[in-house]
């Protein structure tokens, strides 16, 4: 997997991802560039200094002078997410993505989740985008700091979470206004796909449906925006 951009590469180096190759543009002297280069030297990561033209041929023009090749993203188990919340003595805060197919939406959701203190994200193996180069780039490196479990069946996982006293709320139209719903305690928020929303069976398994109040003529929000609003409502209620 290729990671590009200063912030994404910096997070990859900081968090000990297995870096197979690092290419850096010649003569970069800004603070972030110096920090990345210094960390690479400390960790024994070989750097190939090349021209901007070489980097341009390897990927997009958004590399900001840094490209690294890393071992593919390592997913965790759902149990790891629950254990992480427990280790912090915090109520579990989980994001479940039911079929997000746009890597830009997925990356944006990961970035917001990391900022909001979400303990982990759960995605399905099929009919959903995996963690790829675009997701990592869009997340601004947040993938390096987020536990992500990739599971065969979302509905089975919901049953498991319920047994662990996690309340599951589906983010869809037609539910209780989100600010009126008690979102404290162990919580998982389900965000559906861009086109179809949360699947019927998954919706039926949830403990409740929560909705964001809309005042305009458009009747829906982008999946990553809706997810961000919901996550920060949890943050607000938790204080």
The structure tokens listed for 122 are 């759960």
The pLDDT of residue 61 is 67
Does 237 score more than 70 pLDDT? Answer: yes
Same domain (yes/no): 121, 185: yes
Same domain (yes/no): 187, 105: yes
Q: What is the pTM of this model?
A: 0.82
Same domain (yes/no): 217, 132: yes
Residue 233 belongs to domain with CATH number: 3.40.1280.10
Same domain (yes/no): 125, 41: no
Q: What number is the average pLDDT over the span 166-185?
A: 95
Same domain (yes/no): 92, 139: yes
Tell me the H-state helices in the chain: 6-14, 31-43, 52-58, 78-87, 103-116, 133-138, 154-163, 200-205, 223-238
**Which domain does 167 fall in, by range?**
78-238
The pLDDT of residue 1 is 86
Same domain (yes/no): 82, 192: yes
Q: What angle do CA 151, 67, 16 make, to 5 degrees?
A: 55
Which of 38, 70, 102 lies at the terminal end of a domain, its last residue? Answer: 70
* pLDDT category of residue 57 using cuts at 50, 70 and 90: confident
Q: What number is the average pLDDT over the span 145-171?
A: 96
Same domain (yes/no): 154, 103: yes
Residue 46 belongs to domain with CATH number: 3.30.1330.30
* Mean pLDDT computed over every residue of the chain: 92
Does 67 score more than 80 pLDDT? Answer: yes
The structure tokens listed for 65 are 């002078």
H or E stretch covering 211: strand 208-211
The pLDDT of residue 203 is 94
């Amino acid at each position: 997997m290729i990671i590009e951009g200063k912030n994404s590469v910096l997070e990859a180096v900081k968090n000990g991802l297995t870096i197979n190759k690092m290419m850096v543009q010649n003569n970069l002297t800004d603070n972030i560039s110096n920090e990345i280069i210094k960390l690479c030297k400390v960790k024994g990561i070989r750097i190939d200094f090349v021209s901007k033209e070489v980097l341009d041929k390897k990927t997009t023009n958004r590399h900001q002078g840094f490209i690294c090749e890393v071992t593919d993203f390592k997913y965790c188990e759902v149990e790891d997410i629950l254990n992480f919340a427990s280790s912090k003595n915090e109520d579990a805060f989980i994001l479940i993505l039911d079929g997000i197919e746009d890597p830009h939406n997925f990356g944006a959701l990961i970035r917001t989740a990391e900022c909001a203190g979400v303990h982990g994200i759960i995605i399905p193996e099929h009919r959903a985008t995996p963690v790829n180069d675009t997701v990592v780039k869009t997340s601004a490196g947040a993938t390096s700091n987020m536990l992500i479990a990739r599971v065969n069946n979302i509905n089975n996982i919901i049953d498991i979470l319920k047994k662990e006293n996690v309340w599951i709320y589906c983010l869809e139209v037609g539910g209780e206004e989100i600010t009126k719903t008690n979102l404290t305690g162990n919580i998982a928020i389900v965000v559906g796909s861009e086109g179809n929303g949360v699947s019927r069976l998954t919706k039926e398994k949830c403990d409740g449906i929560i909705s964001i109040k809309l005042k305009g003529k458009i009747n829906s929000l982008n999946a990553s925006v809706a997810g961000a609003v919901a996550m920060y409502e949890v943050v607000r209620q938790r204080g």
